[in-house]
Amino acid sequence: MGAFAATAPQVLAASSTASSGHLWWKRRKSVSAMMPAEAGEGFRPILVIDEETLALAVLVPYSHSGDDEQAIGDWIEHGGSMPRHLATLAAGVPVESEAGVGASRERSNVGGACELVDAALRCRSLALLAVHPYDPDAMGLHLTLFGVEGVGPDRLVEEYGLDPADLADHRDAAAAKGVALYYLVGRTAEVFTQCSQNLFTKRPHDDPSGSADGADAPRPPLDRLFAEQFETLQATVAADGVPGASPRNGQIGHAAYVERRRGRVYILIPYYPGNAIHGHAAKLWTNRHASLVVSDDHSSLRRVTVSGASDFLSHRTVRRRFPVIALAVTHPEGDDGQTVNAPVYWFATRADEVVWETGTLARNELTAERPACSVNAGGDGRHTKKPKYFDAGAVAAYDMHLQHEREASPRGIDPAGSRRASWLEAVAPALVVREQRLVASATRSDVRDATSDGDRVLGD
């Protein structure tokens, strides 16, 4: 966990709102944000404190008057309300929706981060997907944190015996932007790799033609947007508030599909790997809501989050409700012969809300040596993965009683820094190798700054 999390230049963070509704209609909404907005902003957002404790750096802007430092601290550290200027950023501005979409709005990356922080502080759970867009050797790392609290940098150093230098890059980034620095701290409940994250590699385009601080590029229609993607990041949350985030990959135009049914827009994602129940499917079984994040840094240069009622469907059901898409997936040549395996099941998310991030993303491109998803389960044959990959019988049973005890206990601080010192010693060799690989990858690929509803949702 340590080396890959600590060196990630970007992270998709996910949490949830409080549950609302009654009985079978009780639901939580997933909340997600990419932090920071760009992978090349010069600091790594995840601070690994020890083998079971992580902190996510959060940069929080002041209001124009600059007299709200106390209000920000009360919100993050003491459970107060989100300051008004931040709530305005999180709410964004309504914009015209395309036909079939419930509602649309625009907001800054900072606004999305503020909503995420507020959700995590109230839910006290946080999912992190460590993103390594420029590293061909990285595995996407998913972490779920419980007992999440907000703390300031000085308090973090004091409570965990950190070297102040551990926070230097975060402090520098906050000072350069003129914003406040805080951390979301929690202990790990889940840690595992996402095997599809490293199946393609990006690098900055020779002509970036974009910046998150620049003028907005046009908002493309959702069907065109998804037709140009090879990756969509999915966030879900279980009924008990445990969130999850992971990538959904495929060949360009085949990672996700946009379809319409009864006047509404749905995003359909085929799922091929051989495990019977995926973590997201398990969460959707108890809480049918999801968010899909697309960072289109190669075509429209826009980031968008599509959220709404979500479900997992059998291929037979998709064939009945969305026959055109189902046929296009299994019969890509357009004739009567099936040349691609049918998906194990599908994820379907209704576009109840679409949030466009303001600004233009820096342009990236795929490296020639690693085309999008040439070897994964969404590749040419859409094959299932080797059963060995999902050999759960070879893994020791997890002690849920122990986890319940951990969750009931207070956050374990360590002012002497003994756990931190032990972790640094244990991870040192792997971290050295990791940094060397990052430098080598940057040189080899010419990558700049690489190190720095009550019933089923869809009805019948």
Neighbouring C-alpha atoms within 13 Å toward the C-beta of 326: 17
Sign of CA dihedral 205, 206, 211, 214: negative
Specify which of 126-130, 209-213, 400-404, 435-439 reaches the highest per-range mean pLDDT. Answer: 126-130
Q: What is the mean pLDDT of the chain?
A: 84
Evaluate whether residue 139 is within a structural domain: yes
Evaluate whether residue 450 is within a structural domain: no
35 forms beta bridges with 11
Confidence of residue 196 (pLDDT cuts 50, 70, 90): low
Those residues with Cβ within 8 angstroms of residue 437's Cβ, 6 or more apart along the chain or in another chain: 135, 137
Q: Can you give the pLDDT at residue 14?
A: 97
Evaluate whether residue 34 is within a structural domain: yes
Q: Can you give the pLDDT at residue 11?
A: 95
Q: Can you give the pLDDT at residue 73?
A: 96
Evaluate whether residue 459 is within a structural domain: no
- Residue 407 and residue 75: Cα distance in Å, rounded? 23
Our count of domains for the chain comes to 1
As a residue count, the chain comes to: 460
Evaluate whether residue 458 is within a structural domain: no
Whether residue 460 is predicted with pLDDT greater than 50 in this model: the reply is: no
Q: Domain of residue 243: give its range.
A: 2-445
pLDDT digits (tens, 9 = 90+) for 241-291: 999 998 888 778 888 999 999 999 999 999 876 555 578 888 998 999 999
Q: Can you give the pLDDT at residue 199?
A: 58
Q: Can you give the pLDDT at residue 23?
A: 65
Those residues with Cβ within 8 angstroms of residue 308's Cβ, 6 or more apart along the chain or in another chain: 102, 289, 290, 349, 350, 351, 352, 353
- Residue 64 and residue 84: Cα distance in Å, rounded? 12
pLDDT digits (tens, 9 = 90+) for 34-54: 999 998 888 999 999 999 999
Q: Report how far apart, in Å, the C-alpha atoms of 258 and of each of 16, 23, 43, 234, 261 are.
A: 25, 31, 35, 15, 10
Evaluate whether residue 457 is within a structural domain: no
Other Cβ atoms within 10 Å of 408 Cβ, number: 8
177 forms beta bridges with none
> Which whole number is the average pLDDT over 283-311?
95
Closest CA to 113 of 47, 184, 186, 18: 184
- Residue 83 and residue 338: Cα distance in Å, rounded? 56
Closest CA to 122 of 155, 59, 80: 80
Evaluate whether residue 454 is within a structural domain: no
Two structure tokens written together for 38: 């760009």
Evaluate whether residue 297 is within a structural domain: yes
> Which whole number is the average pLDDT over 308-336?
90
Q: Can you give the pLDDT at residue 136?
A: 66
